[in-house]
Chain A
């Protein structure tokens, strides 16, 4: 079984709809992240959480919200989806302290907003 699991793998939605992407991990890591990948722009950080009570905005948080339901679960919501949120979304985890820059990624969710 994958250490970092994202659901769904693919999602097509319409402009204005609310959607949620889910992430769960079995690595026991405290830190969790949501990134989006766009061609030529690499991976950009949306939100991150260092523990259950800690939520922080990343580089591109506008239009997104997150919930850290438990140490192992971190979900990303698009309250009202728009076409430029079409992208590949990745959840990632890392340890606390030394080595925390080494991220472990899920397989991604391809989101298309029509």
Chain B
């Protein structure tokens, strides 16, 4: 089945130790998104790629970076995780950048910062 895959499902890191979360898709979609979802809060868009074009949200901290080496893969890098970065990180894809295109979500990676 075509899908959005996130690895790992659970990630534990230490305060200040860089961490990378991975997302891959078999849908061949142009757009890939990263959302942050803190406990009992709404998912919040961090940034997205349309093909190779990176689009950062204005309030996304500089601590968060992303890479998309090819259509299938997208990475979220947290350069120096703080305790406040503990959250569920959701990857999503859509065919195009219009709201009529459904976003398909992966199962998420739960990040714990010690």
Do A and B assemble together?
no
Chain A interfacial positions (CB closer than 8 Å to B):
none
